[in-house]
Chains A and B, each alone.
Chain A
């Protein structure tokens, strides 16, 4: 990310070390993940030891240290979704995308992650693709949903 943009984020939080989690969240929102160079820049300019940044970035589930796909696919593994068959849905997503948790498809379009409850448990099992929620998923619906995205993306191109 442009150093000026990072400065803006640091500015927003008054260069406060205690706001490091919020700073990283803002960075990730822009960049989709936490690029190494940007973390080094933050470390120098906040300032805060780089090891501390990495400790935080690896402790909290919200952060990614590698780029995610254009459409991150996240499968809810919360209890409500679990009892309604989330593991089967997850297996099918994995099969359909050909990647595991943390992976990105070769075309860079999809990445796969799991989440512990999205707070929409009544619609379980839930899969979120990009920012869209897909409720009441079944293994068969996974296939058609991902196909739909592939088609949509092909059209956009």
Chain B
């Protein structure tokens, strides 16, 4: 890579890269995000390369491995450009046919197309699939267009032009003004105005200012940050360099979750290529800006996503939060002014500079501007990552983009905000995604987890699940958090075991108050939310567990029994075969029965039955 030492050089190189590329040249793009990899996309790529070689087409057809397209459910995803033909669930067996039919003969392979679940219609183009149609993919959309390990790809789509504009046309204070006017709020959970934070950090006294990217993504059930870092690391890095200029920092860190090896790898590759061409290091683009970024891997502790715990971890200590009256922007890493922002927050920065404040503020609601990426998962047909304009309501996201609930079941609630958030019941599905409105209904925006729950999800179990998570992840520093979450878990466990007592709900509410009031950091302060919100909207379900010893959703093991329906059972023996404890008896073609004393309620028989004969009561 040549050195890029001035804005002009950047534009020259951009022209050179684009000029050397033929936009009409056929290109096979294969998603290589973690989801598609898990479905075997690496084998698909290898097979494409082999087949192209066999046909002698390596020069005429390009192969590009890209970041996550978002529609992970349908992986491995392959898009054939320039026409944008979308193939789903592609396997190495299909690659030869795709080359000979689609690329050489312009024929679409019906079998690999996406089928509209309601109309049965086959859809050819990615952009026309309902999952993508309702989205506004201004941050996430480039993932599918570029190879994340290629800086050329990023430059070709306009990469680092925002940095170039920043350094030539604006002073640091002007950049802060732009970010403030854009209304950009932190995407990591708190929703704090980014420009205001930058300004305080810039104005804080210290020998050295730091900027940090929070890629700890601890919310279980959310993976937006992972996919952005994996799929388009340069957009995050560009945001950080602009931030460093505005704040007056010469050193930055990216704190990445240990469980994300591919994100670590792609970011490290991106940083190495930036250093090589001079976009990181000394005198960036000849502007006099010096800035360097280091990658630090986390140790797998949820609390380390909290700003002061993250700083402690970066310094090589255990991740225990510090008191909030010490402001991080004034005294962060090594007690120096430190500005921490989330991955997605950083990725918004180049977009705002490029497109301008007017454009950016035209998207979203009064108090929440721009788009938000959600991880739409759980009991929903189209699971994956979705980017929507702020203000879209949850119903639209679940039904129009998500395609509704599988197996024709009923939507019960949507959980947002991770362990600090809450459940939003079906009756409130009209609530828009907006920082303040979500807080009003007892949940929160959080970092972007959106977990869809159907009528087979038990709310006591959900609360117990989060409390189990939180008692394990509490760092143990504050007694209220350490003991309170433990005690709340024990009460919830007793309720789900059928040992709930009259007064337990009130006790949970009282403990909630103590935990929230008595804890230092937001982990403890928000820990009761999953319990309070489930009590608020599903109190009757708690009461059914406590008073009637019944789990209406059929989840809590101690309160359910499995049985086989006489009418539906065909005596096929599928259930008997999968039962790990030999609790099922019955002759072939005759009614089978389950011995409740032997049954461990593992659910294997239910999953194995093709006739809907296994019931839970």
Contacts and interface: CB of A to CB of B under 8 A. Distances in A.
A61 to B, nearest CB: 4
B392 to A, nearest CB: 20
B223 A121 contact: yes
Contacts of B296: 21-22
Contact of B316 (A21, A79, A83, A138): A21
Nearest to B226: A119
A115 B297 contact: no
Contact of B578 (A77, A121, A143): A143
A59 B319 contact: yes
Interface stretch (A37-45, A88-96, A147-155): A88-96
Nearest to B577: A140
A82 B602 contact: no
B297 A25 contact: yes
A92 B604 contact: yes
Interface stretch (A1-9, A12-20, A104-112): A12-20
A143 B220 contact: no
Contacts of A65: none
Interface string B412-454: 0001001000000000000000000000000000000101110
Given A79-B415, A133-B38, A119 B223 contact: yes
A62 B453 contact: no
B290 interface: no
A83 B457 contact: yes
Given A92-B580, A120-B72, A139-B604, A61 B316 contact: no
A118 B298 CA distance: 14
Contacts of B600: 91, 95
Pick from A122, A124, A126 the residue with the most CB of B within 10 Å: A122
Given A18-B316, A62-B299, A143 B580 contact: yes
Interface in A97-145: 115-124, 126, 133-135, 138-140, 143
A116 B218 contact: yes
Contacts of B217: 119
A62 B264 CA distance: 15
Nearest to B260: A119
A115 B72 contact: no
A133 B38 CA distance: 5
B214 interface: no
Contacts of B38: 120, 123, 126, 133-135
A121 B383 contact: yes
A88 B219 CA distance: 22
Given A95-B580, A139-B604, A116 B316 contact: no
A146 to B, nearest CB: 12
Interface in A55-71: 55-56, 59-63
Nearest to B604: A139
15 contacts: A18-B314, A25-B258, A55-B318, A62-B258, A79-B219, A79-B378, A80-B449, A80-B451, A82-B221, A84-B379, A116-B218, A119-B259, A123-B73, A139-B580, A143-B578
Which 3 residue pairs of A and B lie closest in terms of their CB atoms, listed nearest first?
Answer: A60-B299, A79-B221, A122-B72
Given A21-B296, A116-B220, 6 more contacts: A25-B258, A79-B378, A92-B580, A122-B35, A134-B38, A139-B602
